Structure 1
Amino acid sequence: MAEDLVIAKGTKESQYQSLLPQVEALLEGEQDLIANLANMAAALKAQFNFFWVGFYLIKNNELVLGPFQGPVACTRIQMGKGVCGTAWKENRVLIVPDVDQFPGHIACSSYSKSEIVLPVRRQGGDVIGVLDIDSERLADFDEIDERYLIQLLALLP
């Protein structure tokens, strides 16, 4: 297990390429989902300094706040509500360049301007939650984020 992250500089892609093996080392041998989600959120926050990085887990047919890094957040989100609930319902990645333009956006913080949400699966199976990342900048997420975040989530045991 790695004790410290090496924070890479350079392009977004090179930063993800540096982060992937480090997160893999963090998760290696650890089977506890919460521990792994916590370390993944911390690693993403440390590398990219996103406004908010966290997980919502499905419990009793709603998304419940899980491990995260950033300011306090919405605790529960219904299926189909906001970006997170919609990504869960539609079982797909959502990239939102301007959250104020997303119908039904749930404003946990007025500082959030753009967002990416990805379904989280365990061992390639059913969706167990979502990874939610918010930025204080408009249009901060793209296909590079999507590609590498999918790879990071695939590291979960």
Structure 2
Amino acid sequence: MQEPTDYASLGRQLAALLDTRDWLTNAAQTSAFLMQSLEGLNWVGFYLQRQPETLILGPFQGKPACNPIPFSRGVCGAAARSRETQRVDDVHAVADHIACDADSRSELVVPIVVEGHLWGVLDIDSPQPTRFSAEDQAGIERLCQTFVSACDFG
């Protein structure tokens, strides 16, 4: 059993790390920070909306990833379509799951919405089934807000 994560402390650390307004640098730093700070992960990264109804791979930590991802497929696509966080206990139970890494078992995908427009999603994978709790979801959603607040997206 994992110890509870202190997301308030992680938020302060992430805010201090993101001292540039550049979204690319901050996305790279956020991916690396989360990969090093949270237990039981095998992939953390951003997919960006750079084409209609399609997510394109952005900064990440982990094995090479699938690219592109249409909004019509997978957990990332569902988060992009709905603009709602997707927390999946067992990705193998998702009919249209896109298996970039066969070791991944659970997934948390948070949509990043800037000024009412989908910018992209933060995708976090774990080889552990049921890795992400409601507390993890709320904490990571707050960390995503820290990321958005630190960036100029123009």
% identical equivalent positions: 39
CA shift, 1:48, in A, is 1.4
Gaps of 5+ in 2: none
CA shift, 1:136, in A, is 0.4
For 1:94, the aligned partner's letter is Q
Moved beyond 4 Å, runs of 4+ = none
Contact 1:80 1:88 in 2 (8 A): no
Gaps of 5+ in 1: 1-9
- TM-score, normalised by the number of residues in structure 1: 0.87
Q: What secondary structure is seen at the aligned counterpart in 1 of 2:30?
A: helix
Give the Cα separation in 1 of the matches to 2:78 and 2:64: 21
Give the Cα separation in 2 of the matches to 1:150 and 1:137: 20
For 2:26, the aligned partner's letter is N
Question: Which structure exhibits the higher relative contact order, with contacts defined as CA atoms closer than 8 Å and separated by 6 or more residues?
Answer: 2
- TM-score, normalised by the number of residues in structure 2: 0.89
Match of 1:40 among 22, 25, 30: 30
Contact 1:114 1:136 in 2 (8 A): yes
Q: What secondary structure is seen at the aligned counterpart in 1 of 2:12?
A: helix
CA shift, 1:80, in A, is 2.2
Listed as ranges, the matches of 1:6-17 within 5 Å are 11-14=3-6, 16-17=7-8
Q: CA RMSD in A?
A: 1.3
CA shift, 1:130, in A, is 0.4
Give the Cα separation in 2 of the matches to 1:107 and 1:27: 31
